[in-house]
Amino acid sequence: MNEGDAVPAVSFTRADGSSVDMKELVGQRTIVLYFYPKDETAGCTAEACSFRDQYEDFKTAGADVIGVSADDAASHEAFKKKHRLPFTLLTDPKGVGAKAFGVKKTFGLIAGRVTFVIDRSGKIVHRFDSQVRVQKHVEEALQIVRSLEGKTAA
């Protein structure tokens, strides 16, 4: 998936085990959807904590932040609690969602790290793909969200 594409019709699993379709998430607010390899790894923890630290800025700018990995709900809940993550983490156990979004594995082994900004109409307006530049995912996403919503930094 690239800029200008509509979000794919794909479902993820919530912490309570229920399914949520991507199309259900679109419409009310801009969405920052970020795919990451694994809970409690160094890069993923740094990325999640950066999103946490900027979460109020995302909310003020009109966006919801949603993280997605193949980890199960119990892992996500422990990760959220340990690092005080205020945003939603969804499970993609078989990688169907990642595949639908075109998130490729690094070296064919490590789940991809890609951040998408999705506007209220369900179009992808930004894609950032980097396994190592975790802070840049947050910086670019916030900049794009602010430009979409016409908000500036406080």
The angle subtended at Cα 97 by Cα 96 and Cα 103, nearest 5°, is 100
Is the pLDDT at 134 greater than 50? The verdict is yes
Domains and CATH numbers, the chain: 11-149 (3.40.30.10)
Is the pLDDT at 150 greater than 70? The verdict is no
Question: For the chain, give me the number of helices (H) and strands (E)?
Answer: 6, 7
Residues in the chain: 154
Q: Are 87 and 79 in contact (CB under 8 A)?
A: no
pLDDT for residue 153: 47
Count the neighbouring beta carbons within 10 Å of the beta carbon of residue 19: 10
Is the pLDDT at 137 greater than 90? The verdict is no
Indicate the pLDDT class of residue 151, thresholds 50, 70 and 90. Answer: low
Burial class (CB in 10 A: 0-12, 13-18, 19+), 149: middle
Catalytic residue list:
44
Is the pLDDT at 108 greater than 50? The verdict is yes
Indicate the pLDDT class of residue 149, thresholds 50, 70 and 90. Answer: low
Beta strand 19-21 with 30-35 is unpaired
- Model confidence over 22-76: pLDDT tens digits? 989 998 899 999 999 999 999 999 999 999 999 999 999 999 999 999 999 999 9
Torsion of CA 19, 140, 78, 12, to 10 degrees: 10
Q: Which residues pair with 66 in a beta bridge?
A: 33, 88
Beta strand 30-35 with 63-69 is parallel
Average pLDDT value for the chain? 89
Q: How many whole angstroms from its chain centre is CA 29? A: 14
Nearest to 140 by CA among 122, 127, 149, 124: 127
pLDDT for residue 133: 76
Is the pLDDT at 112 greater than 70? The verdict is yes
